[in-house]
Amino acid sequence: MTQAGSPMPAAQLAGAVEAASLTDAALDASGAATAQTQAVSLDQAALVALDWGTTSLRAYLFDAAGNVLDTRESTAGIMNLPRPAADGGFDAAFESACGAWLERAPNVPVIAAGMVGSAQGWLEAPYVDAPASADALVDGIVRVQTARGVTLHIVPGVLERGELPNVMRGEETQIFGALGDSPAAATDGQHELIGLPGTHAKWVVVRGSRIERFHTFMTGEVFAALREHTILGRTMVTPDRMDTEAFLRGVNNARLKGQAGVLATIFSTRTLGLTGQLAGQQQPDYLSGLLIGHELAGLDAVLVQHQSKLDGHALRLIGNEALCGRYQLALTQFGCTEAELARQATERGLWRIATQAGLVAPASGAAQAARAVGG
């Protein structure tokens, strides 16, 4: 199992995985794209791929084997464009991120996923209904012509219809990137559970390489709202490092004493402080654990309805490594000790969908194996 790094401070829980973005890069505050690699041989370029979310943009340059040659990052998400969309804001952000590459490699295909395909994005890519395969995503791709004359292929999101409809936009690309790591498991008809912790955490059931059903938990956003805008935050002190004991206390209070629901337990963050049982520095981690515990308890209840459970379940996590480490710790309290971190899911997903769309030729088996080892 891949080991996650040290868990992040609870104060960063809500922002650790940006809701609509696929990645968690540290972004240039100016909004200008910054190159991580100074010298790149663009004669090897085969694909430009973008993870374009609400508040951030990350661009990848791939070679023909599916390896990332270069990466550029920007704060120019769809709600933070350098100028209004009506005045060419999307083109300006695209040019800033990818213009230097495309000047020297003008014929390279371009694909994008994330909120750029939302109703507020460059061009709306209507949702594909679940169950959804990678082929269905390819069929739902929409195309927009950029000012440079390049065609941008935008991947759609996924919609699960019902009385409580659910949507994802961006996560579907990560999921198919993670599935590419274990094609046998994805095609043998077995259900696989994939978690994407974040502002709006997703738990997705995949079967036969299709996104079958999923649930969204607003854990990160609720944490931020409770801390910043309720009485609970008044006694909280930002800790220097994670308090594991306080975190697990929250997880287990949700698991063992949360039958009345989250609304009946969150006030304990304050009352445990008032009674001297929880220091101010411990309260953020306690609340973090409490909310994640309720999330996992709710997930477990849903799994039981489908003759499954977290106890003894092997699953995969996609997202910020430190935040996933926090979830791995919480999952152990539910009997789940096999929660592997799927690395490079975003870029692998973009490459996989571009390949299935015929934008690039499939990488050789040797190249795929080398990339898996490197990741």
pLDDT at 68 > cutoff 50? yes
Query: To the nearest whole percent, how much of the chain has pLDDT over 90?
Result: 81
What is the Cα–Cα distance from 39 to 12, expressed in whole angstroms?
34
Task: Judge whether 181 lies within some domain.
Answer: no
pLDDT at 186 > cutoff 60? no
Write the CATH number for 49: 3.30.420.300
pTM of the complete model: 0.84
303's CB contacts (< 8 A; 6+ apart) are: 193, 309, 310, 313
| Greater pLDDT, 322 or 11 | 322
Query: To the nearest whole percent, how much of the chain has pLDDT over 70?
Result: 83
Please, which residues bridge with residue 213 across strands? 205
Task: Judge whether 178 lies within some domain.
Answer: no
- Owning domain of residue 205: 1-20+187-343
Count of structural domains, the chain: 2
pLDDT at 112 > cutoff 70? yes
Whether 13 and 28 map to the same domain: the answer is no
pLDDT at 182: 58
Three-state SS for 269? helix
pLDDT at 183 > cutoff 90? no
What is the Cα–Cα distance from 18 to 234, expressed in whole angstroms?
25
Whether 5 and 58 map to the same domain: the answer is no
Please choose, from the candidates 16, 29, 102, 20, the residue with its C-alpha nearest in 3D space to the C-alpha of residue 59: 102
Q: What confidence category does residue 363 fall into, taking pLDDT thresholds of 50, 70 and 90?
A: confident
Three-state SS for 354? helix
Whether 215 and 287 map to the same domain: the answer is yes
Whether 8 and 147 map to the same domain: the answer is no
When the pLDDT of each residue in the chain is averaged and rounded to a whole number, the result is 88
Write the CATH number for 239: 3.30.420.310
Q: What confidence category does residue 3 fall into, taking pLDDT thresholds of 50, 70 and 90?
A: very low
Whether 143 and 104 map to the same domain: the answer is yes
Whether 25 and 165 map to the same domain: the answer is yes
Task: Judge whether 213 lies within some domain.
Answer: yes
Whether 287 and 369 map to the same domain: the answer is no
Whether 25 and 161 map to the same domain: the answer is yes
Task: Judge whether 306 lies within some domain.
Answer: yes
Please, which residues bridge with residue 68 across strands? 62
Task: Judge whether 241 lies within some domain.
Answer: yes
pLDDT per position as a tens digit, 282-338: 999 999 999 999 999 999 999 999 989 999 999 999 999 999 999 999 999 999 999
Q: What confidence category does residue 373 fall into, taking pLDDT thresholds of 50, 70 and 90?
A: very low
Q: What confidence category does residue 43 fall into, taking pLDDT thresholds of 50, 70 and 90?
A: confident
Please compute the mean of the pLDDT values over residues 15-26 and round it to a whole number.
Answer: 34
Task: Judge whether 319 lies within some domain.
Answer: yes
Please compute the mean of the pLDDT values over residues 42-71 and round it to a whole number.
Answer: 96
pLDDT at 193: 97
Whether 361 and 268 map to the same domain: the answer is no
Whether 195 and 324 map to the same domain: the answer is yes
Whether 206 and 288 map to the same domain: the answer is yes
Q: Which pairing describes strands 338-341 and 314-317: parallel, antiparallel, or unpaired?
A: parallel
pLDDT at 275: 97
pLDDT at 34 > cutoff 50? no
Please compute the mean of the pLDDT values over residues 66-79 and round it to a whole number.
Answer: 96
Task: Judge whether 176 lies within some domain.
Answer: no
What is the Cα–Cα distance from 104 to 20, expressed in whole angstroms?
31
What is the Cα–Cα distance from 365 to 24, expressed in whole angstroms?
29
For 185-198, letters b (16+ CB in 10 Å) and e give ebeeeeebbbbbbb
What is the Cα–Cα distance from 310 to 304, expressed in whole angstroms?
9
| Greater pLDDT, 372 or 160 | 160
Any idea which of 67-76, 178-187, 302-311 has the lowest mean pLDDT? 178-187
Please choose, from the candidates 55, 137, 48, the residue with its C-alpha nearest in 3D space to the C-alpha of residue 100: 48
Whether 115 and 89 map to the same domain: the answer is yes
Task: Judge whether 230 lies within some domain.
Answer: yes
Please compute the mean of the pLDDT values over residues 102-117 and round it to a whole number.
Answer: 97
